[in-house]
Amino acid sequence: MKISGISQNSIEKISSCQSEPNWMLEARRHAYQIYLTNTHQLHTLGVDRKHLESMVVYDDQPYAKVTEPEFINQNSYSAKAAQHQSKIVYVVTMDQLKDKGVTYSSLSDAIKNYPDVVKSNFGLAVKPENNIFAALNTAIWSGGVFLYVPKNCKAELPVQALYYLQSHNFGQFERSLIVIDERAEVSFYEGCVAQKSARDLIHAGVVEIILKKNAKLSYTTIQNWSLDVENFVTKCAVLAEGASLDWIDGNIGSSRTFKYPSAVLMGDKSNANFHTFSFARGSQIQDAGAKVIISGSDCSSQIISKSVSTSGGANTFRGLVEVRRDAKRAKSFMSCDSIVVDDQSKANSIPKLICDEPTANIEHEAKISSIDTAQLLYLQSRGFDEASARRIIISGFIGDFSKKLNPTYVVELNKMLESYLN
């Protein structure tokens, strides 16, 4: 079935297609009212409301078999899922993960099979009031995954989710919920791909992460949408006492990206580290960064961002650190480092620091520079042409980010950068 338009009728059709309980339908209706009262935000973001509300927002029709990109088609994951358009088309979980009690499925299936867990955690990290696209996603979401890791469970191999876009004039609004119980550990990889022939696409996904006491999660996402995709994403994690989050976030594709993964450190001694990279070329706009809100005592956070702008591309880093009252001895460090390759490109750094706790320690630094001429000349003197020399310098610049990635992702990232820089 295909459903077009954003309306009360569309919402009820989507809910019916997914056989949802009444509480979810009511959540959708509530979010839709919030969307209607905040449509002015669309103009601020440069989104045409009339066009947005005419797009196909749900499409579960079968397509040709989804083929995984070569660089991830290998047995290095304990579970895999893939979404095509609006529907999760397959989920595969290794027996050794099932035997540990780990649950991995589509979110729509989880609502039916694990209603108590989903209902008690849905909307805890991302509320429809957060922003216009969080409200829209809550109203018309479809697809997305559900991951639950039980207490004391450690997943040896990572879990993966892939998202594909293929048609025209379409919006993908998947929603994922990840719940890591006490003292459990897991790594999660997310990838995004759109066919270059697809046109006029919007991606507005939501990811909610709930980390219980002393839980650990490493979350990696590489976004490589085609340049016909506009990307408006809301992702947030809530951390209990002693929980730990490492978030690696790469933005390579899409025509425009607005993406600020967030963490709320509710519990004492919790910590969150963000390592982000954005690449903008031509008419691309990458408006990205990270946000951390600290409420617990003895918490720590780190936001390390790097960006490259070339051939007229524009990068804007937006970082927020907010330390609330009584978040005793909180520590946070924020860094933004940008390279602007040519005179046509742009980079901006817009940090925001809010501290209501006198015992907290917050640091920030930012640097925007061009490619070092001395380095360029040195490499050329060693036999490299100018284009190769630039690629080497940029690869070195993002080296700290690359080290955080799975080796297969590093190879693919280098291939993408080489292609785009040429």
Query: Between 414 and 282, whose confidence is greater?
Result: 282
Q: pLDDT category, 165, cuts 50, 70, 90?
A: confident
Query: Between 146 and 70, whose confidence is greater?
Result: 146
What is residue 71's DSSP assignment?
G
153 Cβ neighbours under 8 A, 6+ residues apart: 100, 101, 102, 181, 184, 185, 186
Q: What letter represents residue 393's amino acid?
A: I
Q: Which of 46, 51, 3, 48 is nearest to 28 (CA)?
A: 3
User: How far is residue 108 from each of residues 31, 160, 392, measured CA to CA in Å?
Assistant: 18, 18, 45
70 has pLDDT over 90: no
| Residues 307-326 as b or e (16 or more Cβ within 10 Å = b) | bbbbebbbbbbbbbbbbbee
Task: Identify the pLDDT of residue 419.
Answer: 75
Per-residue pLDDT averaged across 81-99, rounded? 89
**% of the chain exceeding 70 in pLDDT:** 96
Strand locations in 7-78, DSSP E?
56-59
- With 0-12 / 13-18 / 19 or more C-beta atoms within 10 angstroms meaning exposed / middle / buried, residue 108 is buried
Scanning 340-385, the segments in alpha helix (DSSP H) are 373-381
Q: Which residue has the tokens 């956070």?
A: 301
Query: Between 317 and 408, whose confidence is greater?
Result: 317
User: Is 137:171 a contact under the CB 8 Å cutoff?
Assistant: no
| Angstrom distance (rounded) from CA 173 to CA 139 | 10
Q: pLDDT category, 67, cuts 50, 70, 90?
A: low
Copy the structure tokens of residue 226: 């085609």
SS3 label, residue 328: coil
**% of the chain exceeding 90 in pLDDT:** 72
Task: Identify the pLDDT of residue 274.
Answer: 98
Task: Identify the pLDDT of residue 198.
Answer: 67
Query: Between 354 and 379, whose confidence is greater?
Result: 354
| Mean pLDDT computed over every residue of the chain | 92
Lowest mean per-residue pLDDT among 190-199, 225-234, 380-389: 190-199
Rg for the chain (alpha carbons), in Å? 21
Q: Which residue has the tokens 């056989």?
A: 19
Q: Which of 247, 246, 176, 184 is nearest to 212 (CA)?
A: 184
Query: Between 330 and 253, whose confidence is greater?
Result: 330
Per-residue pLDDT averaged across 270-299, rounded? 96
Task: Identify the pLDDT of residue 115.
Answer: 96
101 has pLDDT over 90: yes
Copy the structure tokens of residue 332: 């946070």
Copy the structure tokens of residue 232: 């408006």
Task: Identify the pLDDT of residue 407.
Answer: 78
User: Is 324:295 a contact under the CB 8 Å cutoff?
Assistant: yes
Per-residue pLDDT averaged across 385-409, rounded? 85
Q: What letter represents residue 418's amino acid?
A: E
The CA-based diameter of the chain, rounded to the nearest angstrom, is: 69
* pLDDT tens per residue, range 9-65: 999 999 999 999 999 999 999 999 999 999 999 999 999 999 999 999 999 876 655
Task: Identify the pLDDT of residue 71.
Answer: 42
- H/E segment holding residue 274: strand 271-281
Copy the structure tokens of residue 320: 């927020």
pTM (predicted TM-score): 0.94
What is residue 63's DSSP assignment?
-
